Structure 1
Amino acid sequence: MDAREKAAEKIIVALDVSDTGSAVRMLEKLSPFVRRFKVGLSSFMGIGAPEAIGLVRSFNAGVFVDGKFHDTPKTVGNAVRALQRYPYIEFFTVHAAAGEAAIQEAAKEKGNAKLIAVTVLTSLNDWDAHNAIRLHRIEASRHFTKIAMQSGADGIVCGVRDLPWFMQEKDDDIRHAIKVVPGIRPAWYTQSDDQRNIGTPKEAITRGADFLVIGRPITNPPKSIGTPQDAFQLIVDEIAGVL
């Protein structure tokens, strides 16, 4: 596998659409190049969770279920057990804030899928995080990462700016956790949106990210960049340059 192939493996495209037609069109454009797609609340509510999961699979792509399960331990465990109907799901998410017991229940039911715990949403800045949970963003990220990894998670979702502390961590389970990073914004993507904890693909990879979740820069790139395929290939080139 050459550098560009390795780079492409690290990209998970967010299929944040709420109708089947839009999902099919995006999958037709990108599935020849993209290894994995993320489906989440938009597609679950607009298309239906089983339908969205099955649609991605019908294009022979890997499925990342971004359910962000955050409920009582038994309810979270039941939800994860239901995912076993779809043995091709590679990753799914649980909010670390659901607590140790909920993550432990998810770990019992996860089968072959990787349990990824969401730490702090990348839409939150330091003030937002402190206002919500009385911890600064990086402190909250550390706190929830430790809870998640001690409770059986395989990895975590965190922002680019939260990555450096992993390299300083002495706990092997935490240091080697699968790190899935959203909020990826190439330098050429200048549209403002709701993401706050952002960084470029190069920054994320050099700081230790294992997978990058990328939505709008690929699915709706600036006209100057071209098509979604063009945007994807540009990002692949950027990642390959630092592998």
Structure 2
Amino acid sequence: MSRVIVALDFQDRLDALQLVGQLDPARCRLKVGKEMFTRFGPGFVQVLQGRGFDVFLDLKFHDIPNTAAAAVEAAADLGVWMVNVHASGGRHMLEACARQLAVRNADERPLLYGVTVLTSLTDNEIREIGWSGSSEEAVTRLAGLAHESGLDGVVCSAMEAELLKSRFGPGLGLVTPGIRPAFAVQGDQQRVMTPAKALAAGSDYLVIGRPITRAEDPMEALAKIEAEIAG
């Protein structure tokens, strides 16, 4: 199965479905974030799943333990492939979410990943919100917390992938946004990497948005990315 997750980012449901109709579920998965989930609701996720796509529900839950765990359970009931929470929600929240999914059969539970540090944040911004040290130190600390709390993996920049794999081993899965193919512009994310380099560094899944979704031919763009990875 493909390691490419296409990040959907549309304000119009029909535009989103038109793009999805040009993609092959055997060659990519789909990510649905806060805006689209809020606009189109759970039914939109079910439509995507009905078309054969695995869905990463990227809502970054961050709340008191009981509330976050209940939200994760609702995502599991929806049948998504992956769901995430903010690792900065703390150990009790992370463990509650992991326990909520542990009671399900393996084929009925989504993967649970913890968001470490958003790829849009610079070191200056990290210090401004009160975290000490660099982005790399913050990511490592939060990844360790997620790993100890029983999560399947973390969301991080590909810049930290090699460090996290060496520190925590292959058992900690890595989803890396901020992936920019060689043919694409950087955009508004600061810590970015090409697909081939990200996989070589230890990324397990690559989140790629506009280079595919804004391409004149999305499948051609995906094919270029696959060729870049293979090359």
Find the aligned partners of 1:32 and 1:152 in 2 and give their Cα distance. 29
Find the aligned partners of 1:16 and 1:44 in 2 and give their Cα distance. 10
Find the aligned partners of 2:85 and 2:230 in 1 and give their Cα distance. 30
Q: Secondary structure at the match of 2:183?
A: coil
Following superposition, the deviation at residue 240 of structure 1 comes to: 1.9
* Paired position in structure 2 for 1:104: 95
Following superposition, the deviation at residue 130 of structure 1 comes to: 2.2
Q: Secondary structure at the match of 1:128?
A: helix
Query: Which of these residues, 46, 62, 66, is aligned with residue 58 of structure 2?
Result: 66
* Paired position in structure 2 for 1:210: 204
Find the aligned partners of 1:122 and 1:53 in 2 and give their Cα distance. 25
Q: TM-score, normalised by structure 1?
A: 0.87
Deviations 1:15-71 (A, max 9, x none): 1223211121011011355331011112112211x1221121121111111110011
1:127 aligns with 2:124: yes
1:220 aligns with 2:210: no
Following superposition, the deviation at residue 135 of structure 1 comes to: 2.7
Change (3 A) 1:32 1:64: closer
Contact 1:12 1:34 in 2 (8 A): no
Following superposition, the deviation at residue 213 of structure 1 comes to: 0.7
Q: RMSD of aligned C-alpha atoms?
A: 1.5
Find the aligned partners of 2:114 and 2:3 in 1 and give their Cα distance. 18
Contact 1:180 1:213 in 2 (8 A): yes
* Paired position in structure 1 for 2:30: 37
Deviations 1:74-110 (A, max 9, x none): 11011111123223x1110000000111111111122
* Paired position in structure 1 for 2:145: 147
Find the aligned partners of 1:103 and 1:167 in 2 and give their Cα distance. 20
Paired letter, 2:117: V
Find the aligned partners of 1:198 and 1:116 in 2 and give their Cα distance. 20
Deviations 1:118-159 (A, max 9, x none): 000011122222222223100000010011010111000000
Q: Determine what percentage of the aligned residue pairs are the same residue.
A: 36
* Paired position in structure 2 for 1:183: 178
Query: Which of these residues, 16, 20, 23, is aligned with residue 13 of structure 2?
Result: 20
Paired letter, 1:84: A
1:195 aligns with 2:189: yes
Paired letter, 1:195: Q
Q: TM-score, normalised by structure 2?
A: 0.92
Gaps of 5+ in 1: 1-5
- Structure 1's consecutive aligned runs of 4 or more residues displaced over 3 angstroms after TM superposition are 31-35
Contact 1:39 1:52 in 2 (8 A): no
Find the aligned partners of 1:84 and 1:33 in 2 and give their Cα distance. 22
